Amino acid sequence: MNLSRKIIAIGAAVAMTFTYFFFKDPTEKFTAQKGNQDSNKNTGSSKDSKESGALYTILIARAKEMIEKGKADDAFKAASDAVRVNGKDYRGYYYKAVSLMQLGRSDEASLQANLSLEIAPDSAKDQIRKLLKSN
């Protein structure tokens, strides 16, 4: 990887980290704007949905990273925040389940995995079923 790509990658990582840690509650801004978001849907504005989509992506990446590092508490918090931002995507529930399994909370992990399974696309269901079997 050449130097300019490394600099860009580092800058993106710093920006993602800053965005995540800038807010005490990263979903605070979006929760307060929920009413505006609903009215914006009628007017065609997608600014809020783009912002919440970006935050969701950051939170999912953070949850995955924390799981890989064995930091289940941090992973659970990031995944929970992701579910609050977008409860219609299966990945937040999936990473909540994985982090709960790492914490030894298997009953709660099963519940989250089943929620994930209900809304996941077919391409992701096998992975979720494997998680349920390992529990």
Structural domains of the chain, with CATH: 3-134 (1.25.40.10)
Residues 32-70: tens digit of each pLDDT: 444 444 444 444 446 677 888 899 999 999 999 999 999
Residues 65-108: tens digit of each pLDDT: 999 999 999 999 999 999 999 999 999 999 999 999 999 999 99
The pTM is what? 0.66
Average pLDDT over residues 116-127: 96
Segment 83-90 long-range contacts (CB within 8 Å, at least 24 positions apart): 84/27, 84/31, 85/26, 85/27, 85/30, 85/52, 85/55, 85/56, 85/59, 86/52, 86/53, 86/56, 88/119, 89/56, 89/119, 90/116, 90/117, 90/119, 90/120, 90/121, 90/124, 90/128
What is the pLDDT confidence band of residue 126, given thresholds at 50, 70 and 90?
very high
